[in-house]
Amino acid sequence: MTAAMEAAAAGREQIDSSASTDVMIQMNGVNKWFGEFHVLKDINLTVHAKERIVICGPSGSGKSTLIRCLNRLEEHQEGDIIIDGVTLDSNLKNIDQVRSEVGMVFQSFNLFPHLSVLQNCTLAPIWVRKMPKSEAEEVAMEYLERVRIPEQAAKFPGQLSGGQQQRVAIARALCMSPRVMLFDEPTSALDPEMISEVLDTMVELASTGMTMLCVTHEMGFAKRVADRVIFMDGGEIIEQNTPHEFFDNPQSDRTKLFLSQIIGHG
């Protein structure tokens, strides 16, 4: 366990109580098909503000598709998705509004290689929020300090290590002051020694009360930080529970099979 995770575990009570009763994300009867393939089956999910959710499950279970539907990187064919009161449909204005409130961190970082780290972080605030350049740069430096790489601001993504790039990606998403952060397997493409620095950043972010949905295989992270763990398989939500209950008392057979396969992780 990293130091930040132990500190988070110690301060568990404080972090717990920050989950509020406002509904941030509401998914009702969401179904999605890729052509003939039914990839999301009747998803019903409610996420409250400041809740931290970890979604886990075997490959191909639809976890990434689910969170990608939340910022319209994928379109759902049936059901409703309502984020912070805005219904996500084909209305472009709604989509743009949701995307500026929802930040996303990708498995392959997706930093813009032709821009410096600072320019990566200031691009969206300047062009979407119409912030003046100096203000955007101040905000960017603040977040770069929070992810502990302010000295890399003038470098280009190609000059950074994987862990540093992912932290820049997190800072870049935070610069838009999103209300929800989505993480799509953020540490899956990293070398083991870099995973901890990214997870530390995410734990610190969680402790500030950000609403987070995280698809990950890092069960240690789930145990320490998550308010709720959701297990998906074959496009359905099989089980969701608090981490304690989920890991110690799995209800469904499929969950038990999955947990037995990843035992020893974290």
Partner 1 sequence: MSTVDTAKLGGGAPDRPPPIATVGVIGWLRTNLFGSVVDSILTIVSMVIIYYAFSALLDWAVFNAIWEAENRRECLNINKETGTSGACWAGVIIWFNAIIYGRYPYEEQWRINFAFIVLVLWLAPMWMPRVKEKLVYGLSAVVFYPFLGAALFAGGERGLFLQIMMSAAIVFFVYNCVNALVGLLSGNDLPDTLREKLGIQGKSDKAQRNILLAIAAVAFAVVFALTFTWTVPNVTWTKWGGLFLTLVISGIGITAALPGGIVLALGRRSQLPVIRVISVTFIEVFRSVPLITILFMATTMFPLFLPEGFTLNKLLQVIVAVCLFNACYMAEVVRAGLQAIPKGQYEAADAMGLGYWKMMGLVIMPQALKYMIPNIVGNFIGLLKDTTLVSIIGLFDVLNIIQSAISRDVPWRGLHKEPLFVGALIFFIICFAMSKYSQHLERKLSTDHR
- Which stretches of the chain bind partner 1, using CB under 8 A? 71-73, 96-97, 99-100, 102-104, 106, 108, 110-114, 123-124, 127-128, 156, 158-159, 173, 176
For the bound state, the minimum distance from the C-beta of residue 43 to partner 1, rounded and expressed in Å, comes to: 20
Smaller CB separation from partner 1, 152 or 255 = 152
Smaller CB separation from partner 1, 19 or 126 = 126
Q: How many residues does the chain have?
A: 266
Structure tokens at 79: 């059901």
Smaller CB separation from partner 1, 59 or 114 = 114
Other Cβ atoms within 10 Å of 173 Cβ, number: 22
Other Cβ atoms within 10 Å of 16 Cβ, number: 11
Structure tokens at 208: 């500030």
For the bound state, the minimum distance from the C-beta of residue 49 to partner 1, rounded and expressed in Å, comes to: 20
Smaller CB separation from partner 1, 122 or 216 = 122
d(C-alpha 231, C-alpha 55), whole Å: 6
d(C-alpha 53, C-alpha 227), whole Å: 6
For the bound state, the minimum distance from the C-beta of residue 67 to partner 1, rounded and expressed in Å, comes to: 11
Smaller CB separation from partner 1, 124 or 226 = 124
List, in sequence order, every beta strand (DSSP E) within 88-235.
Answer: 102-105, 180-184, 211-215, 228-233
Q: What is the three-class DSSP state of 140?
A: helix
For the bound state, the minimum distance from the C-beta of residue 98 to partner 1, rounded and expressed in Å, comes to: 8
Other Cβ atoms within 10 Å of 254 Cβ, number: 19
For the bound state, the minimum distance from the C-beta of residue 123 to partner 1, rounded and expressed in Å, comes to: 6
Residue 36 CA from chain centroid, whole number: 28
**Buried b / exposed e along 43-55 (16+ C-beta atoms within 10 A):** bebebbbbbbbbb
For the bound state, the minimum distance from the C-beta of residue 164 to partner 1, rounded and expressed in Å, comes to: 14
Q: Do residues 238 and 252 make contact, with C-beta atoms less than 8 angstroms apart? A: yes
Angle in degrees, 0-180, between the axes of helices 192-207 and 3-10, rounded to the nearest 10: 30
Smaller CB separation from partner 1, 5 or 168 = 168
Smaller CB separation from partner 1, 20 or 159 = 159
For the bound state, the minimum distance from the C-beta of residue 156 to partner 1, rounded and expressed in Å, comes to: 6
